[in-house]
A and B are shown apart, each in its own frame.
Chain A
């Protein structure tokens, strides 16, 4: 069964304290790994898609990397406005929809 597991469930950082979020997956024939940001009461906001091991993508203070079994979302010098839940997802076997992890809730305090 395809699964996506994210860790930690929650992460508290001080402003400027860099860290990483993990997303591990068990799906054969990976056809992309998606990262989203979700603010309370809102729909997920697309961040990145990664397709192959070794691929990296960056957006402001966020950098996503991909290996054969997991992905990391690195947050460099976070700010309070980076506080949100970060979700990762992979397409199902049919490639028709996304399977989501439970997310990591990040809180950044000043």
Chain B
């Protein structure tokens, strides 16, 4: 099965700063996804990252706050900008296999904003 690596695994950031999370897949995938998991909650989709085009954001998430890059078919970054304590969450990257039979997740990035 494909391997997906995400880093950093955790970080503590000052409010007003930004954090960039990286996600690397060991094979080419068409779409990558970024999710947020707030404390005690399930996963909420932030955006879909397509190579060669702008990311598609879900309702309630905007590009200025969550800029995404997708420079090639194996890599993506999510930046969480202008951090506030409400951004403290786990952020996860994911991809679906070509036939959508399985979905894999990175290990997650636990962000704490102080």
Contact = CB atoms under 8 A, between A and B. Distances in A.
Contacts of B103: 34, 46, 89, 98
A100 B106 contact: no
A31 B107 contact: no
B43 interface: yes
B78 to A, nearest CB: 14
Given A34-B103, A95-B100, A43 B42 contact: no
Given A95-B100, A101-B42, A102-B42, A43 B6 contact: yes
Interface residues of B, number: 22
A41 interface: yes
Contact of B100 (A36, A43, A45, A91): A91
B40 to A, nearest CB: 9
A89 B88 CA distance: 23
B102 interface: yes
Contacts of A100: 42-44
Interface in B94-114: 94, 96, 100-108, 110
A65 interface: no
B37 to A, nearest CB: 9
Given A41-B108, A44-B43, A98-B45, 18 more contacts: A31-B100, A32-B100, A32-B101, A34-B103, A36-B105, A42-B107, A43-B92, A43-B108, A44-B92, A45-B105, A49-B101, A87-B42, A89-B43, A91-B100, A97-B96, A98-B94, A100-B44, A103-B42
The 3 closest A-B pairs by CB, nearest first: A43-B105, A102-B42, A100-B43
17 contacts: A34-B103, A41-B108, A42-B108, A43-B92, A43-B106, A44-B92, A44-B105, A49-B101, A49-B102, A91-B100, A96-B31, A96-B48, A97-B48, A97-B96, A98-B94, A100-B42, A102-B42
